[in-house]
Amino acid sequence: MLIKELTEVPGIAGREGQVRELIKEQLKGQDLALSGDAMGNFYARWEGGQTPLLMLASHMDEVGFMVMGYDNSGLIKFAPVGGIDLRVVPGKKVYLGDEKTPGVIGVKPIHMQKKAEQNRPFSRQDLLIDIGASSENEARKKVNIGDQITFSTTTEFISERVMKGKAFDDRAGCAAIIEILKSRPPVKLCGAFTVQEEVGLRGAGVAASNVGPALALVLEGTTASDVPESPPHRYSTTMGEGPALTIMDRSFLANQKLNQRVMELAEREGIKYQLRRTSIGGTDSGPIHLREEGIPTIGLSLPCRYIHSPASLLNMDDLQNMIDLVKTILQDIAEGGFPIGTTY
């Protein structure tokens, strides 16, 4: 299953190579022009119609960690790469390096803690990775400084439609682009698989300049907060209610005319969608819409519960609805219905 393969591969910001190879493998022999750039972004260009050039963008990188050093007993010191709440880290399994050396993140046993210690989270200094090495020398032979570390979660269904896994943000977006490209849509299109989103939206701007599209669609993962302790009026998105259309986030204010047409199309086709009801967080839409003289951009996000944790949840109906909605938009562009190229 594509989403399983894509999410189980390690690829923190700056180390997206294995994800890129997997995507390349998927897109070979599909009449696409495949290319890359110096930063690591990967492009798949499709000539399917006489439309202006469109871009679909998703980022390949995930949140994870990096090997920083060794303890003299052979344990590994590490630091986060991207935004991770350290409270989801203790007691988890990880892979280190491109060779996926297994490790576990240990903690002080509860029996040896003072009561007050339990009121504060474990700090980075409390958390070390055990790779089964019994000395610093042995550890150095297995793992290098700077090696990437990712959670080693198995992606699987936990109920009929809901999958558990890591890195749905944003490999689910990558999977959507792959599906859409393979469906041979009637437009001129470039799929852009970007790098380094999680460390400051760094690859997407370069991708936008390389592609130079007339319109960009950014397919993302976003937080679903329909969970206890958060009141319904503060849900940003709800799992199972379809892809979420961005109105604004920290990096981007959406074009209202484009959003209006997206909503009309979704309603016409009966495709479930929702509005993203929070303004925090940045996405690749930010740098993309500010490139060149400004690139009209649409942001669509998949609701993920427990995003940036080792075990996040994704509803597969949401993914299918996102794919269907994007295909509908592309069809509409081919038919000239979409307000592309018009100004404010």
Partner 1 sequence: MDLKSFIERISNSPGISGCEQEVAGEITMAWEQIADEVRRDNLGNVIALKKGKNSHKPPLMLAAHQDEIGFLVRDIDKDGFISLDPIGGIDPRLLPGQEIKIWGREETLGVVGARPPHLQKPQDREKAIPLEKIFVDCGLKKEELEKKIRIGDAVTFHQKMGWLNENIGYGKALDDRAGVAALHQVLLELKDRTTPLDVAVVATVQEEVGIRGAITSSFALNPDLGLAVDVAFASRPGLEKEMTLNSNGGPGLEIGPHMHPGVLEKLKEVAGEKEIPIQLIGVPHPGGTDTYVMQMNRCGMATGLLSIPLANMHSPVEVIDIRDVRRTGRLMASFCLQADVEFVEGLKCL
Query: Scanning residues 186 to 245, which ones bind partner 1 (CB under 8 A)?
Result: 223-230, 234, 236, 239
In the set 280, 293, 336, 342, which binds partner 1 (CB under 8 A)? 280
CA 224 to each of CA 43, 227, 234: distance values in angstroms, whole numbers, following the listed order: 29, 8, 10
103 neighbors 131 (Cβ within 8 angstroms)? yes
What does the DSSP assignment read for 132-201? S-SSHHHHHHH--TT-EEEE-PPPEESSSSEEEES-HHHHHHHHHHHHHHHT--SSEEEEEEE---TTTS
Distance of CA 278 to the CA centre of its chain: 18
The piece of 32-40, 112-120, 190-198, 329-337 that touches partner 1 (CB under 8 A) is 112-120
Catalytic residue among 8, 62, 197, 241: 197
Structure tokens at 240: 């199972």
Taking the complex as a whole, the smallest distance from the CB of residue 165 to partner 1 amounts, in Å, to: 10
For residues 92 and 105, is the Cβ–Cβ distance under 8 A? yes
Does the active-site annotation cover 197? yes
- Contact present, 110 and 226 (Cβ < 8 Å): no
- Sole binder of partner 1 in the list 56, 131, 180, 204 (CB under 8 A): 131
Q: How many residues bind partner 1 (CB under 8 A)?
A: 67
CA–CA dist 152, 268 (Å, integer): 41
Instruction: Single out the segment in contact with partner 1 by CB under 8 A; choices: 36-44, 124-132, 178-186, 325-333.
Output: 124-132
Q: Single out the residue of 5, 37, 71, 317 in contact with partner 1 (rule: CB under 8 A).
A: 71
Cβ neighbours around 306 below 10 Å, total: 16
Helix then strand then coil, % of the chain, to nearest 5: 30, 25, 45
As measured in angstroms, the least distance from the Cβ of 22 to partner 1 is 23
Does position 251 bind partner 1 by CB under 8 A? no
**Shortest Cβ 315–partner 1 spacing (Å):** 7
Report the C-alpha dihedral over residues 267, 222, 46, 205, rounded to 10 degrees. Answer: 120
Beta carbon of residue 75, minimum distance to partner 1 (angstroms, whole number): 7
Q: Does 85 bind partner 1 (CB under 8 A)?
A: yes
Closer residue to partner 1 in complex, CB, 87/344: 87
Candidates 58, 148, 297, 309; binder of partner 1 (CB under 8 A) is 309
Taking the complex as a whole, the smallest distance from the CB of residue 103 to partner 1 amounts, in Å, to: 7
Phi-psi domain of 31 (left: phi exceeds 0; alpha: psi -120 through 50; beta: other): left
114 binds partner 1 (CB under 8 A): no
Q: Return the residue of 3, 76, 89, 215 that touches partner 1, per CB under 8 A.
A: 89
For residue 65, the cross-strand partners are 80, 149
Q: So which residues are the catalytic ones?
A: 197
* Residue ranges binding partner 1 (CB under 8 A): 71, 73, 75, 83, 85-93, 102-113, 118-122, 126, 128, 130-132, 134, 153, 156, 158-159, 161-162, 164, 223-230, 234, 236, 239, 278, 280-281, 305-313, 315
